[in-house]
């Protein structure tokens, strides 16, 4: 298997990953980049005619937006997705083609990336399936879709590749707290994982989005201003409508008009009724009772652009929901042109704003922005409600990885700006010790020539009691674990024992080893160490801090020993340290350094217990 990252690598948009197996070549998504530096008509870094099939995670344009271009340039395979994803993609791609056509007609020399005819040909290539149904995509690839909890039809793709193992691609995964969408499925046991990292470094604040939105609307209405909510036609828009319906029915908002200003408004919202089986059971019950959970008395769907311009030029207080969510185009621009310089109005961001987009510039505090070729001063109030985002936050992403009973061999972090992707990478390595990597654009990982080799050692010790199950004539005990090399031979240990060893040190393994190597004096300390009873208070402090700086004595271990000293006393703590060392768990990576650390700890705690407690506290808080 060979994986090449051709989009959403250290950025959020343009998802596209090329996978090659021994008998197949396919894409995970084929999305369009968004932002001011995005190419209007990007060239593919592969021959579209050589692609056997595409696996589409969901319909958002940054994941599906170049499918018609792919077809126009020779792709003739199948596009695998859920039923709902196909139906949403059809609306979004048709709308994109129309927008490109209108732009080309108004600007000399501008050519559309694809046409409405290309979209029609693209839709003919969709092959749709429900969740949890295995799909034989080729002779050596089977795909199963799971609920991603992101937008209608969005899926996690579980890809089983003959001879290479299992690859899971998250696409975009939801935060699990949406009133409409289900929580994302748990991670299947997998060999390789490609995970998004939109909010890899951020936690969604514990703010009730319903109450926050209500207060913004009330404050703006009191000032006789407008509330503009940029949102993509599918996903956040429906959740906002649902919240507004609740607020109006609870009589918590005045009788203020709400405009859903997008030609796709009624169509996209009706898709939720058509695909009720993709929604939360509680929310689905509204449709089953014949109710429409998105419609309420003051809601008005705007279809024509002239009507949109009329609302934009009106001075009446109102709420406007319009695309695009990042202010890169769409009807929201009509309203920005007349509202950006109104200090009584409000602009409410409810989704991620990619780097290089007008939305990001305004959210970052830029005071002058260009809209439709004209510069405006940003005078209106700017708000952000991250609780309405369709993406999991840092904790949600980590929990998704940690939900697997068997952790992946390797993880690739994509769909995130560098700081978010890197934060998620570090957290996974520090806590789960999984080989995790953030690829650059164009990076290729080649697993084609790697083989799994069976190694048989003479002396193998089983450090746990297996519970065998009868399978035909055989007795089998499937498990995951690790081989631990010790002086008396090779020990086969369980996953729990392995994780227990790794979590003894909290620092990143690679960084720790680099620090250890850089401390030349530590290599010969076992021979030069003072006897336990002869250590001074100053020497104890210096030695322990040196080992802490080298990553050998971790913060988690310091917290553990401090707590034990306070609760169980000196003797119990020393006994615990000796027990850890005897089982090679004090510092399992190097027996020599482990013995030096043991002697320093025992000597220091025995002679200076109060100083030891203070040192442990200092190290644990670093």
Return the pLDDT at 333: 94
Hey, how many other C-beta atoms are within 10 angstroms of the C-beta on 569? 11
Is the Cβ–Cβ distance between 228 and 320 less than 8 Å? yes
What the chain holds in terms of domains, given with CATH numbers, is 2-203+390-445 (3.60.15.10), 209-388 (3.40.50.10890), 460-501 (no CATH), 510-620 (no CATH)
- Nearest in space to 323 (alpha carbons), one of 227, 210, 236: 236
Stretch 350-368: mean pLDDT: 89
Q: What is this structure's pTM? A: 0.70
Residue 111: pLDDT band with limits 50, 70, 90? confident
Return the pLDDT at 506: 44
Tens of pLDDT along 400-457? Answer: 999 888 889 999 999 999 999 999 999 999 999 899 999 999 999 998 655 433 333 3
Give the single-character DSSP code of 533. G
Hey, how many other C-beta atoms are within 10 angstroms of the C-beta on 517? 11
- Nearest in space to 261 (alpha carbons), one of 216, 304, 218: 304
Whether the predicted pLDDT of 108 surpasses 80: no
Is the Cβ–Cβ distance between 335 and 293 less than 8 Å? no
Q: Which residues contact 282 (CB under 8 A, 6 or more apart)?
A: 179
Give the single-character DSSP code of 32. P
Helix (H, G, I), strand (E, B) or coil at 565: helix
Residue 497: pLDDT band with limits 50, 70, 90? low
3-state secondary structure labels for all residues of 326-346: CCCCCCHHHHHHHHCCCCCCE
Q: Partners of 474 in the beta sheet?
A: 471
Residue spans of alpha helices (H) in 124-167: none
The rounded mean pLDDT for the chain is 86
Residue 518, token pair as written in the block: 């850089």
Tens of pLDDT along 170-187? Answer: 999 999 988 899 999 999
Radius of gyration in angstroms for the set of CA atoms belonging to the chain, rounded to a whole number = 29
Residue 621: pLDDT band with limits 50, 70, 90? confident
Tens of pLDDT along 136-173? Answer: 999 999 999 999 999 999 999 999 999 899 999 999 99
Using the structure block, give the residue that is written with the tokens 């311009």. 309
């Amino acid at each position: 298997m060979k994986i090449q990252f051709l989009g959403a690598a250290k950025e959020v948009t343009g998802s596209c990953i090329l996978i090659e197996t021994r008998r197949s070549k396919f894409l995970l998504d084929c999305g369009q980049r968004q932002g001011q530096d995005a190419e209007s008509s990007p060239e593919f870094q592969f021959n579209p005619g050589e692609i056997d099939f595409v696996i589409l995670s969901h319909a958002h344009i940054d994941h599906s937006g170049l499918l018609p271009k792919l077809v126009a340039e020779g792709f003739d395979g199948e596009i695998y997705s859920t039923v709902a994803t196909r139906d949403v993609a059809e609306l979004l791609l048709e709308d994109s083609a129309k927008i490109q056509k209108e732009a080309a007609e108004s600007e000399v020399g501008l050519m559309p990336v694809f046409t409405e005819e290309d979209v029609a040909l693209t839709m003919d290539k969709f092959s749709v399936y429900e969740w949890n149904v295995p799909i034989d995509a080729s002779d050596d690839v089977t795909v199963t879709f799971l609920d991603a909890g992101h937008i209608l039809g969005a899926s996690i793709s579980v890809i089983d590749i003959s001879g290479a193992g299992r690859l899971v691609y998250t696409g975009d995964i939801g935060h699990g707290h949406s009133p409409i969408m289900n929580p994302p499925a748990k991670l299947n046991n997998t060999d390789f994982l490609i995970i998004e990292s939109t909010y890899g470094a951020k936690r969604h604040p514990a703010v009730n989005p319903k109450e926050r939105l209500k207060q913004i609307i009330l404050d703006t209405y009191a000032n006789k201003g407008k509330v503009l909510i940029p949102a993509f036609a599918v996903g956040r828009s429906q959740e906002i409508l649902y919240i507004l319906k609740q607020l109006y029915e609870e009589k918590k908002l005045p009788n203020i008009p709400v405009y859903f200003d997008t030609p796709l408004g009624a169509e996209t919202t009706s898709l939720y009724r058509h695909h009720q089986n993709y929604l939360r059971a509680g929310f689905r019950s509204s449709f089953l009772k014949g109710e429409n959970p998105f419609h309420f008395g003051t809601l008005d769907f705007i279809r024509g652009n002239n009507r949109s311009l009329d609302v934009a030029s009106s001075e009446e207080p109102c709420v406007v929901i319009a695309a695009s969510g990042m202010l890169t185009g769409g009807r929201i621009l009509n309203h920005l042109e007349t509202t950006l310089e109104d200090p009584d109005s409000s602009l409410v961001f409810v989704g991620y704003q990619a780097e290089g987009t007008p939305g990001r510039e305004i959210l970052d505090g830029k005071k002058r922005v260009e809209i439709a070729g004209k510069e405006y001063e940003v005078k209106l109030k700017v708000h952000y409600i991250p609780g309405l985002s369709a993406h999991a936050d840092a904790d949600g992403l980590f929990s998704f990885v940690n939900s697997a009973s068997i952790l992946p061999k390797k993880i690739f972090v994509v769909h995130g700006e560098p700081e978010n992707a890197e934060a998620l990478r570090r957290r996974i390595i520090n806590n789960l010790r999984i080989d995790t990597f953030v690829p650059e654009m164009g990076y290729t990982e080649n697993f084609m020539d790697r083989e799994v080799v069976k190694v048989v050692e003479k002396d193998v010790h089983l450090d746990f009691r297996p519970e065998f199950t009868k399978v035909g004539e055989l007795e089998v005990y499937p498990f995951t674990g690790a081989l631990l090399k010790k002086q008396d031979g090779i020990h086969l240990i369980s996953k729990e024992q392995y994780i227990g060893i790794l979590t003894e040190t909290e620092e990143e393994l690679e960084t720790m080893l680099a620090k250890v190597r850089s401390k030349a004096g530590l290599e010969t300390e076992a021979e030069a160490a003072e006897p336990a009873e002869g250590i001074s208070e100053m020497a104890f402090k210096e030695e322990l801090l040196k080992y802490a700086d080298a990553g050998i004595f971790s913060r988690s271990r310091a917290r553990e020993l401090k707590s034990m000293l306070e609760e169980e006393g000196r003797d119990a703590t020393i006994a615990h340290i000796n027990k850890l060392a005897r089982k090679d768990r004090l510092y399992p990576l190097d027996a020599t350094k482990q013995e030096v650390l043991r002697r320093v700890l025992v000597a220091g705690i025995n002679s200076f217990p109060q100083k030891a407690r203070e040192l442990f506290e200092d190290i644990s808080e670093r």
